[in-house]
Amino acid sequence: MDQSAFPTVMDAAAADAAAAPPVPFQHPVPAVLPAAQLPAAPGGAAPEPDDFEPPESPDRRDAYAVTAFGDVIDRAQHAAIARLTMGLSPTALTEAYLDWAIHLASQPGKRLQLIDKAMRKSARLAQYASTGAIKGEPCEPCIKPLPQDHRFDGADWQKWPYNVMSQAFLLNQQWWHNATTGLRGVSKQHEKMVEFASRQVLDMFAPSNFPLTNPEIMRKTIETGGQNLAAGFQNFLQDWERKQSGKKPVGTENFIVGRDVAVTPGKVVYRNRLIELIQYAPATDQVRPEPILIVPAWIMKYYILDLSPHNSMVKYLTSKGFTVYMISWKNPDADDRDLDMEDYRTLGVMAALDRIGEIEPGRKVHAVGYCLGGTLLSIAAAAMARDHDDRLQTVTLLAAQTDFTEAGEMMLFISESQLAFLDDMMWEQGFLDTTQMAGAFQMLRSNDLVWSYLTRNYLMGEREPMSDLMAWNADATRMPYRMHSEYLHKLFLNNDLAEGRYTVGERPVSLADIRVPIFAVGTERDHVAPWRSTFKIHRLTETEVTYLLASGGHNVGIVSDRHRTGLHYRVTTAAGDAPHVDPDTWFMTVGQVSGSWWPDWLAWLTARSGAWVPPPAIDGGYGSFADAPGRYVLEP
């Protein structure tokens, strides 16, 4: 993006200083008092009020400008640092490490435990290494990796000396986990931050990341005569060149929006400064009377729900007789810096409902929200219920949080210090950039998204074939400054929505006001919206809730391709007055069903829909961008 289009920091400071009125000096005694209350002057006469006005001070007149300029300097410094730290606050991390270090220093018993653990782990490793060297065959490991850690699964890792290297790394990793957790007095937030940061540093030095300590790389290097390293270097140069020139990753050219993905026929039937509303063409002679409105997250392009024809949720719904409308969000830029959450509600959800009401008067709507779009939809539904707006037939929340007290490792980045740092970064740009946002998500799964990628592409010399989902993931979006700041402060940090403080139209809303049936979907390996967090919808509402837990992660679990094998899910329905069941008990007692969850959801929607009717007319009037996928999704 052309940074010259943005005002510079000095321009902003000058504008603030020029526009700032001088601040009058505030004397501790009010300037105007009744004469009887004025202090007596020498000789007994009451002084005039003007006697209490101090002489004008140029320093005081300029105080506002100096303060504004100082604020600009601080923000600019934070923004500059943020470019190097991917938006993470060094102050917040330092504060966490000091909290941990001071408490560790004051607990000699904990230090003795760590010394004892280190000695016993060293003895176990020495015995393991000597046994393997003498026998020359695999032996029982000292420690097994976590279930999600597949770095050392290969047969080559079970041979000496690589098995010793992997065991030493895992034991070291376990020791550091013991060292960074369980200290009395350390705040939970700081403990999690220190443990997470220590794990990131350790993962950098895992033996799987280096050719000489990775047997799979060594074997391939010998077999190919080093061609894998040459190919990996070419891959690195190709990726570097594309990144520097602003191009998308290799292979994305095979998944063009409107040609290969997002190809379900439809028309743009409404557009404002924030959304395009797409109405998809009917695929059946008759349709259900209640249309479906999908509210995707604006942290992503909408077409994750309309990927290739075989895994498109939109195509699936239209083929089963539903009229589907989709919100396509504009990718914000610096001009959109002041858009807030209320703008996204009014210009997004409510504007879309109004337009659907014009196309299909009197019809109630099945509303569907995904991720952040689901959070916004829950806010809109609560406000509609409060205001006696009964246009919703049902609400479906896909991997969407409404209570943020257990929002997983994303909470590591949520504190007053961190958000102040992030605010300053966004303030300078006007938005949260795609690379900054992607960096935070990649760190949550650095083994899979960073180190495994680097090893496979640059050391093994292999390119994983690009898929439609990977190409969509590379088509990133931005977040406007004001909206993202409100979202992080009000929802993540203060949890205003779950605790009844979130306001719409200057009045608080409550999720307990929602009376329409809710279908909530969580996914087992979700690192963005952990399923135990989404499960809390049961406690926040007093209506019928059907909760479904699908296999997979935040994206793969929702894009539940019916043709893919190995899928499963759990599902139950609870009445609004049913006794509460905790998520772990629920998981252990609910049976597992094989296959995609889409047919189960379809049956739920069908049971809450009316008899068949002719499909509504579809007429887009937006020139060359009248056809789906529209214009906004194509904007970089």
pLDDT tens for each residue of 516-557: 999 999 999 998 899 999 999 999 999 999 999 999 999 999
SS3 label, residue 469: helix
Claim to verify: residue 33 and residue 131 sit in the same structural domain: no
Claim to verify: residue 64 and residue 193 sit in the same structural domain: no
The verdict on residue 28 lying in a domain is: yes
Catalytic amino acids?
371
The verdict on residue 516 lying in a domain is: yes
The number of beta carbons lying within 10 Å of the beta carbon of residue 185 is 11
Q: Report the C-alpha gap between 411 and 488 in whole angstroms.
A: 10
Comparing 289-298, 381-390, 458-467, the range with the smallest average pLDDT is: 458-467
Question: In this predicted structure, what is the pLDDT of residue 528?
Answer: 87
Q: Is the pLDDT of residue 107 over 90?
A: yes
* Residue 397 per-residue DSSP state: E
- Identify the domain boundary among 55, 74, 89: 89
**Total domain count, the chain:** 3
Question: In this predicted structure, what is the pLDDT of residue 10?
Answer: 37
Range of the domain at 196: 93-205
Claim to verify: residue 107 and residue 197 sit in the same structural domain: yes
Question: In this predicted structure, what is the pLDDT of residue 408?
Answer: 74
The verdict on residue 446 lying in a domain is: no
Claim to verify: residue 355 and residue 390 sit in the same structural domain: yes
**Encoded amino acid at 227, one letter:** Q
Structure tokens at 439: 């960096």
Claim to verify: residue 389 and residue 506 sit in the same structural domain: yes
Question: In this predicted structure, what is the pLDDT of residue 422?
Answer: 74
Q: Mean pLDDT across the stretch 258-283? A: 96
Claim to verify: residue 44 and residue 106 sit in the same structural domain: no
The model's confidence at residue 91, banded by pLDDT at 50, 70 and 90, is confident
Question: In this predicted structure, what is the pLDDT of residue 2?
Answer: 40
Q: Residue ranges of the alpha helices (H) in 321-371?
A: 341-343, 351-359
The verdict on residue 246 lying in a domain is: no
**DSSP letter string, 216-235:** HHHHHHHHHTTHHHHHHHHH
Comparing 156-170, 420-434, 447-461, 607-621, the range with the smallest average pLDDT is: 420-434
Question: In this predicted structure, what is the pLDDT of residue 66?
Answer: 59
The verdict on residue 169 lying in a domain is: yes
The model's confidence at residue 29, banded by pLDDT at 50, 70 and 90, is very low
Claim to verify: residue 67 and residue 111 sit in the same structural domain: no
Q: Is the pLDDT of residue 38 over 60?
A: no
Question: In this predicted structure, what is the pLDDT of residue 318?
Answer: 97
**DSSP letter string, 151-215:** TT-SGGGGSTTHHHHHHHHHHHHHHHHHHHS--TTS-HHHHHHHHHHHHHHHHHT-GGGSGGG-H
pLDDT tens-digit readout, 122-135: 999 998 888 766 66
The verdict on residue 224 lying in a domain is: no
Q: Is the pLDDT of residue 304 over 50?
A: yes
In order of 105, 382, 392, 615, the CA distances from 290 in angstroms are 64, 20, 9, 11
Claim to verify: residue 357 and residue 418 sit in the same structural domain: yes
Question: In this predicted structure, what is the pLDDT of residue 418?
Answer: 76
Q: Mean pLDDT across the stretch 434-445? A: 58
The number of beta carbons lying within 10 Å of the beta carbon of residue 57 is 11
Please say whether the dihedral angle defined by the alpha carbons of residues 94, 97, 101 and 102, taken in this order, is positive or negative.
positive
Claim to verify: residue 85 and residue 99 sit in the same structural domain: no
The number of beta carbons lying within 10 Å of the beta carbon of residue 486 is 18
Q: Residue ranges of the alpha helices (H) in 245-397?
A: 313-319, 341-343, 351-359, 372-386
Claim to verify: residue 413 and residue 285 sit in the same structural domain: yes
**Residue 510 CB partners (closer than 8 Å, separation 6+):** 382, 386, 500
- Identify the domain boundary among 205, 221, 249: 205
Instruction: Assign residue 340 the CATH number of its domain.
Output: 3.40.50.1820
Claim to verify: residue 55 and residue 99 sit in the same structural domain: no
The verdict on residue 315 lying in a domain is: yes
- Identify the domain boundary among 162, 186, 205: 205
**DSSP letter string, 247-284:** PPPTTGGGS-BTTTBS-S-EEEEEE-SSEEEEEEPPSS
Question: In this predicted structure, what is the pLDDT of residue 254?
Answer: 93
In order of 398, 549, 627, the CA distances from 367 in angstroms are 11, 19, 23
The verdict on residue 498 lying in a domain is: yes
Claim to verify: residue 409 and residue 304 sit in the same structural domain: yes
Whether residue 375 contacts residue 344, with contact meaning beta carbons closer than 8 Å, is answered with: no
